[in-house]
């Protein structure tokens, strides 16, 4: 068979016997058309052509703005004859291999990705890494919506399954902060903390991602204080570590805003007559406030001469009465009061106070 009877494709195949489909071809750009097709001189009987759609994964990449005549270019051979006598080439195929290799290296090294969200739905987010589609489930999105920092937690190229997680980064950062805190935490050390929550017995304070308990007894000297009247969620306060259990990761805190101990400057003495406010009932008596932060106990036997079964039979919450200090222990912050010893004298003492 002479050369005249051989088809053009056979001639091309013979001239490109070393160039198999999918093999890389090197050439020189000789033209870029109005349609952004790249014409390549391959030193063969036919030129190579790279359609605009086979140039890049990024639609913003325009051949005429990034390349010029005379530039060397490398591409994959897709088809020996595109139907018009040209060799069909693709930069995307080669680039896809490079990107996949680069991507897999990042996944092996557990690197952090940061990409723009391309799709959103009720199941999660989709991001694109140079042509690789990555799905981030809603539960792992960490409420990020536009640009997401994430790591790959599942990669199965055969099933085209790539799963990312933004939450894992937050969890890792939180764990790192916690470890740094527990390694450096000491009793007596002062921190700026944020009130995470307030409850009936105190508040939980966040210090660099670690929770500490600020008990109501450390929030105010007033034993009847309401934590919600002292602190609000989200408030920044200064606290100090009172107790520390690094093994179980627990700590109790002191509050800088508690103020000075009112008992420190107390000048009361046994025999003093004081005006008190009833604050709380117990089966054995009533607690009465002498001043903010200082309370005394009126035993049920010291409320009145007559026998009563419970304090509220004779007294009311927030009622003000005169009482006599019958015993005290300032060191242990204890005062015992008697209303009974002043029975029949309330008006007398009230009028003296008014005068």
The Cβ of residue 212 has, within 10 Å, a number of other Cβ atoms equal to 23
Helix (H) / strand (E) containing 92: helix 91-108
Strand partners, 238: 192
Please check whether residue 342 is in contact with residue 323, taking contact to mean a CB–CB distance below 8 angstroms.
Answer: yes
| Confidence (pLDDT) at 311 | 92
Taking the C-alpha atoms of residue 28 and residue 237, their distance in angstroms, rounded to an integer, is 68
| Confidence (pLDDT) at 21 | 52
The single-letter DSSP state of residue 326 is E
Domain 185-258, CATH among 2.40.50.140, 3.30.2320.50, 3.90.280.10, 1.10.3720.10: 2.40.50.140
| Confidence (pLDDT) at 13 | 54
| Confidence (pLDDT) at 116 | 93
The single-letter DSSP state of residue 79 is E
Provide the Cα torsion 94, 98, 103, 108; round to 10°. 130
| Confidence (pLDDT) at 353 | 45
**Closest by CA position to 184, among listed 254, 251, 255, 258:** 251
Domain 3-95 fold: OB fold (Dihydrolipoamide Acetyltransferase, E2P) (2.40.50)
Residue 144, token pair as written in the block: 């990020």
Torsion sign, CA atoms 347, 352, 354, 355: positive
Is there a shared CATH topology between the 185-258 domain and the 265-354 domain?
Answer: yes
Taking the C-alpha atoms of residue 265 and residue 145, their distance in angstroms, rounded to an integer, is 57
First to last CA, the chain: 136
By DSSP bridging, strand 24-32 and strand 72-79 are antiparallel
**Closest by CA position to 30, among listed 13, 43, 15:** 43
The domain covering 110-169 belongs, at the CATH homologous superfamily level, to Nucleic acid-binding proteins (2.40.50.140)
- Give phi and psi for 172, each to the nearest 5: -65, -40
Q: How far is CA 324 from the centre of its chain?
A: 55
- Give phi and psi for 350, each to the nearest 5: -65, -45
Domain 265-354 fold: OB fold (Dihydrolipoamide Acetyltransferase, E2P) (2.40.50)
Strand partners, 245: 250
* pLDDT by 10-residue block (mean), the chain, 355 residues: 45 49 82 94 88 86 93 89 84 86 95 94 92 93 90 92 95 91 94 94 93 93 87 94 94 90 88 93 93 91 91 92 93 92 59 41
What sections of 159-257 are H helices per DSSP?
Answer: 167-184, 227-230
Query: Domain locations in the chain?
Result: 3-95, 110-169, 185-258, 265-354
Alpha-carbon distances of 153 from 41, 115, 162, 169, rounded to whole Å: 44, 16, 8, 11
């Amino acid at each position: 068979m002479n050369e005249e009877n051989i088809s053009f494709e056979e001639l091309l195949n013979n001239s490109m016997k070393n160039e198999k489909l999918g093999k890389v071809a090197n050439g020189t750009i000789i033209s870029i058309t109005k349609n952004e097709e790249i014409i390549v001189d391959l030193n063969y009987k036919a030129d190579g052509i790279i359609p605009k759609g086979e140039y890049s994964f990024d639609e913003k990449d325009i051949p005429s703005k990034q390349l010029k005549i005379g530039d060397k270019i490398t591409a994959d051979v897709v088809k020996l004859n595109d139907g018009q006598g040209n060799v069909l080439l693709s930069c995307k195929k080669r680039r896809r291999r490079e990107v996949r290799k680069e991507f897999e290296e990042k996944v092996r090294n557990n690197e952090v990705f940061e990409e723009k969200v391309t799709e959103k739905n009720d199941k999660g987010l989709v991001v694109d890494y140079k042509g690789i589609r990555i799905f981030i489930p809603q539960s792992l999105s960490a409420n990020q919506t536009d640009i997401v920092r994430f790591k790959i937690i599942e990669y199965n190229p055969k099933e085209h399954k790539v799963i990312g997680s933004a939450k894992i980064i937050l969890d890792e950062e939180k764990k790192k902060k916690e470890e740094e805190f527990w390694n450096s935490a000491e009793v007596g050390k002062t921190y700026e903390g944020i009130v995470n929550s307030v409850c009936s017995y105190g508040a939980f304070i966040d210090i660099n991602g670690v929770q500490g308990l600020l008990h109501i007894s450390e929030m105010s000297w007033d034993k009847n204080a309401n934590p919600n009247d002292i602190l609000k969620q989200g408030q920044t306060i200064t606290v100090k570590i009172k107790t520390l259990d690094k093994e179980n990761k627990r700590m109790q805190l002191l509050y800088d805003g508690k103020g000075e101990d009112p008992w420190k400057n107390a000048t009361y003495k046994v025999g003093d007559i004081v005006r008190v406010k009833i604050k709380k009932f117990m089966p054995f008596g009533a607690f009465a406030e002498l001043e903010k932060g200082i309370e005394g106990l009126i035993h049920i036997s010291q409320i009145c001469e007559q026998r009563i079964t419970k304090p509220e039979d004779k007294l009311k919450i927030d009622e003000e009465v005169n009482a006599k200090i019958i015993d005290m222990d300032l060191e242990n912050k204890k005062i015992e009061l008697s209303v009974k010893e002043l029975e029949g004298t309330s008006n007398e003492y009230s009028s003296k106070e008014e005068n």
